[in-house]
Amino acid sequence: MLSDRLPTEGIRKKFNITKKSSGQKVVALAGNPNTGKSTIFNALTGLRQHTGNWPGKTVIQTRGTFSYGGSSYILVDLPGTYSLLASSADEQAARDFLCFAQPDATVAVADATCLERNLNLVLQVMEITSRVVVCVNLIDEARRKKISIDLEELSAQLGVPVVATAARSGLGIAELKERIHQVAFGKLTTNPRRLVYDPEIEEAVSCLEHSLKALIPPGVNSRWLSLRILEGDRTVLDAMREYSSKISYGREPAVETGHCPAGSRA
Amino acid sequence: MKQDTALPDRVLDPAGDGIIRDRVVRTIYSHAEYIAARTVKPADTRRVDWDGKIDDILTSRWLGFPVMMALLGAVIWLTVAGANVPSELIASALFRVQDWLAGLFVRAGLPSWAEGFFVHGVYRTLAWVVSVMLPPMAIFFPLFTLLEDLGYLPRVAFNLDNFFKRAGAHGKQSLTMSMGFGCNAAGVIACRIIESPRERIIAILTNVFVPCNGRFPTLITLSSVFMGGMAATAYGVAAAAAAVAGMVLAGLWVTLVTSRVLSKTLLRGMPSSFTLELPPYRKPQVGRILVRSIMDRTVFVLGRAVTVAAPAGGIVWLLANIRVGEMSVIGLLAGTLEPFGRALGLDGHILTAFILGLPANEIVLPILIMSYLSTGSMASLDSLEALRVLLVEDHGWTWITALCTMLFSLLHFPCATTLLTIRQETKSLKWTLTAALIPLAAACLVCFTVAQAARALGLC
């Protein structure tokens, strides 16, 4: 009853996500292109899939459902992107969903054969949401190439659970489901690695964040939004208008700087 | 105090110098580097990096292009060589059914127009579409999906990137063109991967220059008859395949020229850059390729062709058999278009077939044949030889007629499905019309030039 009135449900509806029951969890699937993301998606959902468009964008949205441990999950396949910083339609769709629809868990898929490149996106995902499971896919290919990955250390460094998978053969999918379950139901608390920027940026972010909090729905990551505003990303302001009822349409959100100590600068 | 008011301006300035983003990105990358250094033990560097070595060849300055041409040639050669025999087998089987059906109609005492409409109109067109389209598609699609699965397509994009950039278009356009081989409507939808609206429109407007599945069989059939001497010998098959490959290259060339003209006139602007990742080569999953290419592509495209061909066959039969005075409706149409057709190296019937074939390119050749048959003497057509006799001996085709028909097929306006898709994707009537008119103009221009040059040189 109560959960239906949470504002997040309203925002999720704007992303074409409607729960069948209040207990159903929403899981996002993020990752670089060519990491076998859709193979993971297929392995998790089987044939229970629907395709549509991301609202207002000519980007394909694929959704599916799966059950695990007696609960049901809606899995949303985000567009494959290399970052969440620039502003192509794909990247906007992915980051708006992560930021405003607040999925109960997010699977960040990384290619084991070029992990470093993929970690950039994983870190950006973790910066928006803490409920992350990292899926190191194509582990069989990495092993064949004699690349070895210390999964325990990776999990310790990132502060979130890490699962190695070879989605083509189904390896690791059961464990991935278990981890999604644990994170989505809060049975496993993550402690994501925090990216700390230059003192100047940090100072500007903290004062922006202060005035931003009143303007955004509860739970939405104000630190991440502040960083994007600081970078001068206008598309993020559009997204705030779209998904926050507290900002009326057509008005620039007023970002006050009264809280900032004199002398601070970007 | 001055600094306090300075902050919001700076903060909300999208034209800012990007210093903050640079710093943010640098921090993220340094974290990724730090973590990777502690968790990844890279492969033994003495091991041979096969992917890198293969890429050095496939994307090299000198070998990249020849290898690409060789692969294209090989795929088309296999398609032409393999499609011939099954095509004739299917055709003779289906036309035997036609005779049986006609007998059934007669025995049931149905009027002769019913037999004409259903058997000679609907059924014969269906039989043609299936026998001409199915074998090449069943060979081409699995081969194409194999290249896709191996990871070759991004290499094609890499090789062609420079050409597209110089034409003022987006490098990803080569990927949307690849999709166009299956179906131009699918290619137009694939243009969504291009973010810049300007370059996306260019890619949409030029996608039709890739011969889709509806036109591939037309190109293959005509090259087999005219360039390959019925593709009866190995040399003939090679010549026919070379002609089809030449058509694909001509399409690519027209795409580049049109893109360049568009980006200098209607869609002025600079090409945007993008990151193209060359994914590792992967072992193809043969079973999945077969299922995917046969089920998703072959059956889908054939199903669409059949649904359009059945009613279109009936309608064209009516047009060919309803008489106004001495002439059939189709004959009248063809007569009116005759001078235009001649100027383009075609004739009135061919032009009529292209216009009536607007719903789907698959039915252009069946319409043409039916329209010829309504004025000619032959009753059925079940082999390439019969087609040759109909075209050359009854209707005076030369190889220039065939070449112009192939060029017109390659370049003319997109089919109705593609136009509707363009309307949906651009949400603009103006661009939809442009998408029909540019190819039409290109087709007329090229065919006119070829026909007049051939005449001037006394080649026909």
> What average pLDDT does this structure show over B54-79?
87
Contact B280 A141 (CB under 8 A): yes
**Rounded alpha-carbon distances, angstroms, from residue B139 to A57, B70, B153, B212:** 36, 17, 18, 15
pLDDT digit string, tens, across residues B390-412 = 888 888 899 899 999 999 999 99
CB-based contact, A193 to chain B, within 8 Å: yes
CB-based contact, A266 to chain B, within 8 Å: yes
Q: Report the residue from A149, A252, A262 with minimal CB separation from B40.
A: A149
pLDDT digit string, tens, across residues A238-252 = 888 888 765 544 445
Residue B1's pLDDT is: 33
CB-based contact, A260 to chain B, within 8 Å: yes
Q: Is pLDDT of B11 > 50? A: no
Residue A171's pLDDT is: 93
Question: Nearest Cα to B153, choosing from B181, B194, B183?
Answer: B181
Residue B370's pLDDT is: 81
Average pLDDT of every residue of chain B? 84
Residue B381's pLDDT is: 64
A2 or B16: which leads in pLDDT: B16
CB-based contact, A34 to chain B, within 8 Å: yes
pLDDT digit string, tens, across residues A38-97 = 899 999 998 777 777 777 776 778 899 999 989 999 999 998 888 898 667 788 889 999
What are residue A132's phi and psi, to 5 degrees? -120, 140
In the block, residue with structure tokens 């994914």 = B279
CB-based contact, B17 to chain A, within 8 Å: no
CB-based contact, A219 to chain B, within 8 Å: no
Contact A265 B6 (CB under 8 A): yes
Q: Is pLDDT of B194 > 50? A: yes
Residue A255's pLDDT is: 53
Contact A197 B10 (CB under 8 A): no
B15 → chain A, closest CA residue: A232
Q: Which residues of A touch B23 (CB under 8 A)?
A: 197-198, 201
Q: B430 pLDDT band (50/70/90 cuts)?
A: very high
Residue A264's pLDDT is: 44
B4 → chain A, closest CA residue: A262
Residue A245's pLDDT is: 65
The shortest C-alpha distance from B16 to chain A (Å) reads 7
Q: A18 pLDDT band (50/70/90 cuts)?
A: confident
Contact A168 B36 (CB under 8 A): no
The shortest C-alpha distance from A32 to chain B (Å) reads 10
Rounded to whole angstroms, how far apart are CA atoms A27 and A21?
15
Contact A58 B40 (CB under 8 A): no
Contact A266 B10 (CB under 8 A): yes
Contact B40 A201 (CB under 8 A): no
Mutation target for A interface from B17, B19, B22, B24: give the one with most A CBs within 10 A.
Answer: B24
Q: Is pLDDT of B46 > 80? A: no
pLDDT digit string, tens, across residues B238-290 = 999 999 999 999 999 999 999 999 988 888 877 766 667 677 787 787 887 78
Q: Is pLDDT of A197 > 70? A: yes
Contact B12 A141 (CB under 8 A): no
CB-based contact, A262 to chain B, within 8 Å: yes
Q: Which residues of A touch B277 (CB under 8 A)?
A: 32-34, 82
Contact B31 A141 (CB under 8 A): no
> What average pLDDT does this structure show over B6-22?
53
Residue B56's pLDDT is: 82
Q: Which residues of A touch B25 (CB under 8 A)?
A: 85
Contact A58 B425 (CB under 8 A): yes
**Chains A & B: contacts with CB separation below 8 Å:** 132
Alpha carbon A31 to chain centroid distance?
Answer: 10
